[in-house]
Amino acid sequence: MTTLTAPRSTGETTAPAARPARRPRGRRAGGHERGGRLAYAILIAAALFSAFPFYWTIVAATRSNADLAKTPPALLPGGNLMHNFDQVLQQADIGKALLNSLIVSGSVTVGTVLCSTLAGFAFAKLHFRGRNALLALTIGTMMIPPQLGVIPLFMVIAKLHWVNQLQAVILPGLVSAFGVFFMRQFLVQALPDELIEAGRVDGASTARIFWSIVIPVARPGMAVLGILTFMASWNDFFWPIIALTSQQPTVQVALRQLGGGYVHDQSVVMAGTLLGTLPVLLVFGLLGRQIVGGIMQGAVKG
Amino acid sequence: MTLTASAPRRTARPPATLRQRLARLSPYAYVTPFFALFAAFGLFPLIYTAYVSLYRVELQTPDQMEWRGLDNYTALFGDDNFWTALRNTFTIGVISTVPQLLMALGLAHLLNYKLRGRTFFRVTMLLPYATSVAAATLVFAQLFGRDFGLINYLLHLVGIGPVDWQSGTVASQIAVSTIVTWRWTGYNTLIYLAGMQAIPSDLYEAAELDGASRWRQFLHVTLPGLRPTILFTIVVSTIGATQLFGEPLLFEGSISGGISHQYQTLGLYMYEQGWGFFHLGRAAAIAWVMFVLIVLLVLVNTAVARRRSGKENQR
């Protein structure tokens, strides 16, 4: 975990604002209180801007359509949530969608983290012919949007009769050049050569070394990659709406169906949105710090 | 551990041994799972897209391909909707990316101060990033409602008449861009913040000794130190903007991007051709045009950044 928290701790010493701290007046940004207040005001405004749509989702999901059509509009939550949830369940199979999304995102996360750790370990610590070329290929394709390959992908899926089957979404979801790169960068730093060498000398095979030495060291990196992958997979939109239909939806497919024009009851649409977003918000609430750390870590490395 | 004790027993030069041994252990097995998946679901579809774009392929019969040469491209370039989508992609891209990155830069600068509740601000600003395109768009579509939307109500309070966020070209593009900006500003803020924290503090101390004001420190220490990060965010945002899809699709739920295609992007146009009109070959041509466009834009971005930093160094 040390490497992941590193950027946070340096923040206290690099920032220009850290300097007033050395003055005897103390930690409370003594010299430029005004600037400080303005900074807080702007940051609070930005935080409100970020959080307001969530609040609004809750307000709209707990109201009726008639409440939302009033002037001035309702600004506080009401008591219509259960009725709206009921409507959601009737209009889109949100229960199945949540289960499907859990299966898809869970499989994609486990598979991606495993493949990325294996390949990341090889790129970081093993020597083989063509290593640099393969690594360059991986990094080079990191930027290419997979969205541009959907047409042949769809033709393949159709040929395999996989349309409307979850593996059609899971398998392409496992390809993560970012994951390989992320784990490689993590292991280059976190895994000392001596540790592998020691295992070797003790007579362990590479597979053994991977399970008993690499995995424990890689765990913090795997956790961060896992969270980021889970969120990205849960929120994936383009490919699932092509490969799946409302008979076998993920949450995003169900949300599209809800908002797709058949239903005009806004409070029901918002109740569906709330249901579909809650799981990710839950993950975010529990692991927000780690997610922030992971994104900043990825940025410094990338 | 056992390294110092046992290594000399086996060989005189332990590093060489490690290499030799590891070399024998088929490291390829470790990269195979990734590259097998990558070849099947990443590289192959991308390359095959160019091939499909030369054929007539219909959605209902994807295994029947009929050679058409460059017909798909000729038809594409002769279609007014293509040029509209290209223009929309560009304008929405600019409206969403430029303010977003500028705001992110400013917010990162503020977050870099010593603050109370730092983690709170960072986590809250990243919340939109955790939201799906679908959820975000459905909420904003409601907020941007013409008759009962909250935004029009607030505008009404300050005396601005109801804006038709759906039908107006400029208004609808601003609305769609707002969703993009909302989702990505916090993410870019954190990327910039990470970059700022990597700038050595003695640079700031030296600047302060020279009597540089905060603003000058920002201009002459922070910005140059952030250049690679800024290039990274510009490239990523450009790629994201070029393939924008979910926001315009769900804003009103129409695949044409509004009645008069006023906010249809290239991504949506591709979807309309392929899954609205069943012309997969035509859609493949659009995908390939988007790919070339992305490569060109990235090259231009990088070239501009190089020239800039070259100039800077000459000074």
Q: Which domains does chain A have, with CATH numbers?
A: 92-262 (1.10.3720.10)
Is B115 at the interface with chain A, CB within 8 A? yes
CA triple B226-B232-B237, angle to 5 deg:
125
Query: Does residue A19 register a pLDDT over 70?
Result: no
Dmax (CA) for chain A in angstroms is 77
CA A288/CA A286 separation, integer angstroms? 6
| Exposure string over A110-144, b if 16+ CB within 10 A, otherwise e | ebbbbbbbbbbbbbbbbebeeeeebbeebeeeeeb
DSSP A73: P
Question: Could you read off the pLDDT of A88-113 as tens digits, one per residue?
Answer: 888 888 889 999 999 999 999 999 99
Q: Which ipTM score applies to this complex?
A: 0.86
Mean pLDDT of A243-259: 91
Mean pLDDT of A296-302: 62
Query: Does residue A162 register a pLDDT over 90?
Result: yes
For B39, name the nearest residue in chain A, comparing CA atoms only. Answer: A175
* pLDDT cut 90: percent of chain B above it: 61
CA A301/CA A57 separation, integer angstroms? 36
Q: pLDDT band for position B27 (50/70/90)?
A: confident
| Region of residue B260 (phi > 0: left; psi between -120 and 50: alpha; otherwise: beta) | alpha
Question: Could you read off the pLDDT of A23-47 as tens digits, one per residue?
Answer: 333 333 333 334 478 889 999 999 9
Higher-confidence residue of A156 and B21: namely A156
Q: pLDDT band for position A68 (50/70/90)?
A: confident
Predicted confidence at residue A274, as pLDDT, reads: 93
Higher-confidence residue of B163 and A262: namely B163
Query: Does residue B7 register a pLDDT over 50?
Result: no
Q: Using an 8 Å Cβ cutoff, are B147 and B162 in contact?
A: yes
Record the tokens describing residue A140, joined without a space. Answer: 């080079």
Mean pLDDT of B149-178: 92
Name chain B contacts of A51, Cβ cutoff 8 Å.
124, 127
**Which domains, from first to last, does chain B contain?**
80-314 (1.10.3720.10)
Dmax (CA) for chain B in angstroms is 87
Partner residue facing A119 (CB), from B7, B34, B118: B34
**Between chains, do B18 and A196 touch, taking CB under 8 Å as contact?**
yes
CA distance to partner chain B, nearest, from residue A201 (Å)? 7
Q: What is the rounded average pLDDT for all residues in chain B?
A: 88
CA distance to partner chain A, nearest, from residue B310 (Å)? 22
- Selected residues 8-67 of chain B with any CB under 8 Å from a CB in chain A: 10, 14, 17-19, 21-23, 25, 27-28, 30-31, 33-35, 37-38, 40-46, 48-49, 51-52, 57, 62-63
Predicted confidence at residue B254, as pLDDT, reads: 86
Name chain B contacts of A14, Cβ cutoff 8 Å.
112, 196-201, 204
Name chain B contacts of A57, Cβ cutoff 8 Å.
135, 139
Predicted confidence at residue B241, as pLDDT, reads: 94
Query: Does residue B180 register a pLDDT over 70?
Result: yes
Question: Could you read off the pLDDT of B54-66 as tens digits, one per residue?
Answer: 999 999 888 888 8
Question: Which of B242, B141, B226 minimizes the C-alpha distance to B182?
Answer: B141
Is A222 strand, coil or helix?
helix
* pLDDT cut 70: percent of chain B above it: 90
Question: Which of B203, B201, B207, B199 minimizes the C-alpha distance to B227?
Answer: B199
Record the tokens describing residue A234, joined without a space. Answer: 């849960």
Predicted confidence at residue A16, as pLDDT, reads: 40
Question: Could you read off the pLDDT of B262-287 as tens digits, one per residue?
Answer: 999 999 999 999 999 999 999 999 99
**Between chains, do B112 and A27 touch, taking CB under 8 Å as contact?**
no
Residue found by looking up tokens 């307000």 in the block: A59
Record the tokens describing residue B211, joined without a space. Answer: 């009597």
Question: Could you read off the pLDDT of B293-309 as tens digits, one per residue?
Answer: 999 998 998 898 888 77
Is A279 at the interface with chain B, CB within 8 A? no
Name chain B contacts of A259, Cβ cutoff 8 Å.
134, 137-138, 141, 250, 253
Higher-confidence residue of B24 and B286: namely B286
For A118-166, the DSSP string reads HHHHHHHH---TTHHHHHHHHHHHTTS-GGGGHHHHHHHHHHTT-TTST
Query: pTM of the predicted model, to two decimals?
Result: 0.86
Mean pLDDT of B164-193: 95
Q: Using an 8 Å Cβ cutoff, are B103 and B190 in contact?
A: no
Angle between the N-to-C axes of helices B118-130 and A266-301, in degrees from 0 to 180, rounded to the nearest 10: 120
CA A181/CA A120 separation, integer angstroms? 7
Q: What is the rounded average pLDDT for all residues in chain A?
A: 83
- Selected residues 125-184 of chain A with any CB under 8 Å from a CB in chain B: 125-128, 131, 134, 138, 141, 143-156, 158-159, 171-172, 174-175, 177, 180
